[in-house]
Amino acid sequence: MDIEEVKQSAVEYVELEADTEVESIDLADSFSHFGDASYVFTTETTDDEQSEWWVVAGETPTNLYPKSQFENPDYVFSFHTGLMSRMGERQLKDMDEPPEGEKYDVFISHSSDDKSKFVEPLVRELNRKGHLVWYDDDELEIGDSIRESIDEGLSRAHCGIVVLSDSFFDKGWTEYELNGLTSRDVSSEAPVILPIWYQIGKEEVMEYSPSLADKKAVQTDGENIEQVAATLSSAIKSSIRAQSDRFD
């Protein structure tokens, strides 16, 4: 990410949102939040009532805050990340499916045995990071055809998280989902399958699928959902960038 481009974008944002003219803008601090680079700028404007602003920009929605309300960059960035997380989660709760013509960010394939302890908390954490996840508990309704719903989810997602576990290897539906993702992965230039090794090691994965064992994976016992979600969020964004301009 070019800092000068981010700075110019911040200037344009302030002048549009605050209806004023920026006289100066300087980088006050930079932050890395779950692997995403963000910057806090301090700006001077021609506005008589509110001339000084903080602007947060980078790999986060751009926003501006009066300098009089926050004494340093760390305070304003902490407030910004909390606000963006709450807004993102609220928007996703109100969104049953992607807007027309768009896709889910990610499909999640998992065993129902891993749902309550690992998958549900992971999905909610990805939601908080702004990702729209096709997740069977959210998408399937009484009377739906499971196979048709899964096919729709697979076709309408940019990529797929596969939660590999001892239980996963014993389920028929998980194999069906994985076959669908594998077909897309083979024909795509962007990574489609994002594996998680949940409470298993390479030996178990190798026995089930040597090709999956060769893929870079997140290995976890499920203890740090937040960190797993942060790693996956970066991978999801990379996959989407290769297929669209959503995160450009």
Please give the positions annotated as active site: 177
Element (H, E) at 104: strand 104-109
At 118, the amino acid letter reads: F
The tokens describing 149, both together, are: 């719903």
Walk across the sheet containing 133-134 and list its strands.
Answer: 133-134, 104-109, 157-164, 193-198, 218-220
CA dist 236 and 150 (Å) reads 19
At 221, the amino acid letter reads: D
CA dist 232 and 194 (Å) reads 8
CA dist 133 and 107 (Å) reads 6
| Angstrom distances, CA of residue 116 to CA of 65, 144, 223 | 39, 22, 13
| Angstrom distances, CA of residue 187 to CA of 102, 160, 191, 208 | 20, 14, 10, 22
